[in-house]
Each structure stands twice: as C-alpha cells, then as structure tokens.
Amino acid sequence: MIHRLGVGALLLLGCHHSAGRPGPAPCGPLADGAGVTLPAESLAGEYRLQLTSDAGEKRTIEGVLRLRSVGPSLPPRAGPYGLPDTTHRYPLVGTADLDLGAVGAVAPGGTTSADAAAPGVLVIERVGGGPARERILLRLGADANRAEPIRFDGGYTVLRVRQADAEGFRGEWESGAPLPEAHGHFCAARATAPS
C-alpha cells in the first residue's frame, strides 16, 4: 500500500511540475507547412536527434548531433560535368552519433567524421528559388560528403528540414542505396546555444 502511494505521489508531482511550462513538442510526422525561413547558419549547436522510421516496423533511434560553422561557407562543390555548383551553399558541418542501421538507413563512410573536407554531416542550403520546405537539408555519411571525387550514385541518408526555431528543427528523412529504401520523420532538440 505504501509503495502504491509513493508511486502515485511521484506521478502527481511529475504532472504538477510540468503543468506550469510547456513540454517538448511530440516528434511526429509534420503536416505540409510553409518551410524554413531561418538561415542555415542558425542551426549551429548541439542537439538531441531522434529519427523514427515510418515504413515497415516502426522504430525510433536517438543520438547526438553536433553542427558547427565552417566560416562563410565551404567552397562551391562540383556539380554535373565537374562545373561548380552555384545553386547551393555548405555553411555547416558536423557529426552524428546514431545507429542508423536500426531504422534501415545507411551512411556511407559513417557519421562521426569531424573532417570539414569529408564531414559525417553536411548542411546544404539551396540558394535562390524553389519550395521553402526543401531549402535546407542535412546529408549524412563522410563518403557522400567528400568534396572529391563527385559521386553519382551509392548509399545516402538525407534529413529535409521543414520547421526550425530557437529550440531546434524537424522534418523528414530518407535513405537508400541508391533507390529509397527507408524513410521517416525526425526531431532535433537543441542542447546547447549556437557557437
């Protein structure tokens, strides 16, 4: 009886404690929205990243994502036919500590490389027109993010940012090798202030 009262009292205290402040938004699929208006540089910092698979057996993984600035931007990378790609910027690089295989995702070369020339995570921002909801994405995998040589196929995992604010960002992810094989939604809750 005392044990039951103790558990009940703890549950009551937990509800009362969180009643005065909003909790984190649930990490669920997003409805269509206007997209991100913040600059990609504002995403620098450390996050608690959660990826949920929406296909087959629904699974969720969690890990730490760290993004840092590389100055004004990495130099333009080569696009089709080896020409410089002037339609995208690369303002942030980083690392992610995640077990992507648990949700059926792949990251060629891994996600923990801190080398700016082949980072585990590369933030890509489209410059110019197009839908705002597809303006910023994070590509995972050091081999996929290597500036040279140009890759035309192979495994990939990308996170498309659909909403972002001072508390974090969220959206959808997709992975394949080379065709899409896994997908879902993600949330990144800020753990530290931008650096």
Q: In the chain, helix, strand, coil percent, each to 5?
A: 15, 40, 45
Mean pLDDT of 160-182: 89
pLDDT in tens, 83-98: 666 788 889 999 999 9
pLDDT at 132: 55
Say if 14 falls within a structural domain. Answer: no
- How many structural domains is the chain composed of? 1
Asked whether the predicted pLDDT for residue 166 surpasses 80, the reply is yes
Say if 195 falls within a structural domain. Answer: no
Say if 46 falls within a structural domain. Answer: yes
* Structural element, H or E, at residue 45: strand 45-53
Say if 1 falls within a structural domain. Answer: no
pLDDT in tens, 114-160: 998 899 999 999 887 655 556 899 999 999 888 765 555 678 899 99
CATH number at residue 33: 2.40.128.120
pLDDT at 45: 96
Asked whether the predicted pLDDT for residue 25 surpasses 60, the reply is no
Q: Kindly tell me the burial class for residue 75, based on how many C-beta atoms sit within 10 Å of its own C-beta (0-12, 13-18, 19 or more).
A: exposed
Say if 11 falls within a structural domain. Answer: no
Say if 36 falls within a structural domain. Answer: yes
Q: What is the pTM of this model?
A: 0.78
The more confident residue out of 27 and 62 is 62
Say if 20 falls within a structural domain. Answer: no
Q: How many CB atoms lie within 10 A of CB 25?
A: 12
Q: Which domain holds residue 163?
A: 26-190
Asked whether the predicted pLDDT for residue 170 surpasses 60, the reply is yes
